[in-house]
Amino acid sequence: MKPYLAHILSNLKLTMRERSVFFFNYAFPLGFFFLFATLNRAKETNTISAVLTSVLTIGLLGNGFFGGGMRAVSDRETGILRRFKVAPPGALPILVSSMIVGVMQYLPVVIIMLILSMVQYGMQWPANWLSFFVFVVIANFSMRSLGGIIAAVANSMAESQIIIQCLYFPMMMLSGATIPLSILPDWAQSVVQFIPATHLVSGLQSILLKRESLLDNWKPAVALLVTTFVCTLISLKIFRWEKDEKLPPRAKAWVLVVLAPFFVMGAWNLQSKENITKTKILDRELSRKQNVLIKNARVFTGTGSVIESGSVLIRDGKISQIFTGTAPEGKALNALEIEAAGKTLLPGLIDVHVHLGSPGGSYEDPKKYQDLSLTEKRLKSYLYSGVTTVKSTGDWVDSTIKLRDKGRSGEILTAELYTVGPLFTAVGGHPTQMLQYFPENMRAIGETQFVRLPKTEDEARKMVRDLKSKGVDGIKAVLESGGEKAPMVRLDLKILAAICAEAKAQGLSTVVHTSKVIDVRDAFEAGATGVEHGSPAELLPDDLLRKMAAGGFYYDPTLSVYDVVRMFEERDFTRLDDSLLQQAVPLDLMRGTRKSISAQGGKAEHSTKMDIAKTNLKRALEAGLKLVTGSDAGNMLIFHGPTVQQEVELWVAAGIPADQALMAATRISAELLGQGGRIGRIEKGMDANLLLVDGNPLKDIKSLSRISLVMLKGERVGRTALLKEDNE
C-alpha cells in the first residue's frame, strides 16, 4: 500500500505545479460551462442539466486524454518515469495513482459547477446524488485509463497529440456533448453508439434529468468499468519507462482493442435502438422543461370563466402562474416570451371517439389500409391541429397500447392517446359484421384484437380484468339495435351490467355505443359511465334525460357522423376544401377520397338522423348532462386531424353556445378520461397542453382552426416539422 500512497502523493504534487493541469481541469470546463449556459439561455430554457452534462463530458475527456495521456508521455520523455523504474512493485502503482489523482483533481470542479448550476441557474441538487458522483468517478477512471493506453502506444509527444485529437474531437462533437444527437440523421445516430462518450453523456443526462439511479444505467457503467480494467491490464503489458523504448506501429491497434466494450454496446444498440430511443426521450424531457410566458392573450380557462387580457407562465411542462392584466416581462421571470395580443389561449382540444385504424377516406394505394404504422402519423395530425388528446374507441388493442406508451414515454411526439377496447358485444352484433370485410389472414387477429364476445357474466368480468392487466384506459361496450331492414343482435343486459360493475371495481370507465332510446336507457341502468352517439333515431324522453343528468352521465353526440350523411345527400363536399384539413391530412389520402366520392353518382336516401341528433344534443344540455366531444373519426370524410373543430362548429350551428361547446371539448372530456386533475383546464399546476389561436372562438367558432401555437406538456410543437414527412 505504501508504494501506491507514495505515488499518489508524488503525482498530486507534480500535477499541481503544472499550469496545464489548472487549465484543463478548471479553467477549460468552467469556461465552457458559462459559454454553453449563455448560448443555451439556460435560465429561460431551464436546460442547465443538459449544459452541466455537456461540460462534465468535455472535462472528463480532457482530464483523461490530456491530463492522463499527454502528461504520461511527457513524464517519460523528461525522464521522470525512469526514476521509478527500479522501485517495486513496478508500473501498477503509477497507473493506479494516475487514475486516483485524476479523480481528486476533477471532483472539485464538478462540485463547483453543481453549486453554480443551483445558485446561478436554479437547478436542484441531483435526486440520486450518490449515483451521480459514483458515475462521474467511474467515467473518470475509464477516461484516464484510455489516456494511459494513448501514453503507452505513443512514441513521442507529437504522436500522442495526433492520437488524442483523433479520439478527443470526435467524442466531444458526436457524443451529444456539444451537438444534440437528435439533429443528426438516423444513420449517424446509429454510428455514434460505438463512441464511448455517447454512453457517458446518456448516463449523466439520465441521472440528472430523469432522476435515474446507477442501477438504471448499469450498461454504460459496466462498459466504462470493463474499459478501465482492460486498459489497465494492457497498459501494464506494454508499459515503457524510457523514451528510447519504441513500440511498432501495429501496437497502436491496442487503442481499438480497448474500445471493444463500446463496439459491443454499439452493435447491441444498432439492433435494439435502445440508446437512440433513450436519447429521444431525454431530448423531449429537455424540450418540456422550458420556461415560457404567453402574454396578453384572451384566456379561455375551461372552467366557465374567460380572462380577457391575461398571461400564462409555464415551467417544467406545467402551468406555473396566471396573470390578469399587465404581466411581468419574460426576462424578469427567466422565461421565453410569446406575444399573444389578439389571440385566444385555450386548453388543448380533446376528441373522445376516434378509430385510428381507419383513415377517414380512400387511399389511392390499397396496401395502405393494412399499414399499422400510419396510426402514428394520424396521431401527429391531431397534434398538428391542436387536438392534444384523443381516445381510441375501437382499434387493434395491442398495437394501440404500444403506440400510446411510446407517446407517453416521449419516444415519439403525438397527441396523447387513451385506449378503450376491444369492444364488448354479442356474437353477430355490431361491429362483428365488419370483420367479414377484413382480409382472411387478418380476420382471426381482428377477433382477438378488436372485439370481446363474452357468453356469461363471469366470463365478461374476467375479460375486463384481463384488459385492465393489459393496460387499457377504459372499457367500451355495444348496444346496437340496428334498423328494421337490418336488425342486430344486442349484448345481453346482465352481461353488460357485469362489465360495467367490474370495470368500476377496476377503476375504469365504461362507455356504450348506442343508436336508440332503448339502448341509451339500458346502458344507463346497467351502470355505464356514458354513451356514444346517443339516440339519433329517436328523441330522448325527458324523464331519461333528468335521470342521466342526476347520475352524472356523459353524452357524446358525434354529430360529425350524421353530417357526413347530409354531405352525401346534398353532394356537399366543401369540407374537403377546409384549409386546416388540407394541411393535416396526407395528400394521397385527400386525392384518393376526392376521386372516390366523385365516382359516386346520385343522392343517398334521405335521413333525419342529423335533425334528431341536434335536438337531442340541445335537450341534453338543457337537462344538465355532461357533454363531451367525439367525432367518430375514421368514418368516411371524418379525417384524423381537426376533428374537434368540425364537431364544435356543428354544435354551435345546432344552437349550443360556443363556451359550452368549448368546455365539452376541454374540461368535461378530460373528466371522462379520468384526467380532469391534469388536463382540460388552464389553472395553476395543470399540464401545459395548450392551443393558441388567432381571433376569438367565443364569437367566431371558425377561429378555432386558425392555429398560432400548439403546446404539449410545455413543449412548443414544431408543427411544420411534425408533418413534413407525412404530407410529402
- Is residue 207 within 8 A of residue 217, CB to CB? The reply is yes
Reported as a single tens digit per residue, the pLDDT across 32-74 is 899 999 988 888 888 899 999 999 998 888 888 887 777 777 7
- Is residue 148 within 8 A of residue 98, CB to CB? The reply is yes
Give me 419's grid cell.
385506449
The top-level CATH class assigned to 292-346 is mainly beta
HSE value, Cβ hemisphere, 13 Å, CA-based, for 40:
26
Task: Calculate the CA 114 to chain-centre distance.
Answer: 28
Question: Sign of the CA dihedral 349, 355, 358, 362?
Answer: negative
d(CA 177, CA 275): 15
What is the CATH superfamily name and number for domain 347-723?
Metal-dependent hydrolases (3.20.20.140)
- Is residue 649 within 8 A of residue 702, CB to CB? The reply is yes
Residue-level pLDDT at 581: 96
Residue-level pLDDT at 6: 64
Low-confidence ranges of the chain (pLDDT < 70): 1-4, 6-8, 10-24, 79-90, 246-252, 254-256, 437-439, 441, 600-607, 725-728
Give me 728's grid cell.
410529402
How many degrees, rounded to 5, is the angle at CA 510 between CA 505 and CA 513?
A: 155
- Is residue 165 within 8 A of residue 70, CB to CB? The reply is no
Domain boundaries, the chain: 2-287, 292-346, 347-723
Residue 263 exposed, middle or buried by CB count within 10 Å (0-12, 13-18, 19+): middle
Closest CA to 143 of 162, 118, 179, 168: 168
d(CA 70, CA 45): 37
Which helix (H) or strand (E) segment is 711 a member of? strand 707-712
CB atoms within 10 A of CB 170: 13
Residue-level pLDDT at 329: 93
Long-range (24+ apart) CB contacts under 8 A made by 566-575 are: 566/607, 566/610, 567/637, 568/597, 568/600, 568/603, 568/604, 569/603, 569/604, 569/606, 569/607, 570/603, 571/603, 573/597, 573/637, 575/637, 575/646
Reported as a single tens digit per residue, the pLDDT across 171-185 is 888 888 888 887 888
CB atoms within 10 A of CB 312: 28
Cis peptide upstream of residue 126 (ω within 30 degrees of 0): no
Residue-level pLDDT at 728: 41
**Maximum CA pair distance of the chain?**
104
pTM: 0.88
- Is residue 24 within 8 A of residue 67, CB to CB? The reply is yes
Residue-level pLDDT at 27: 77
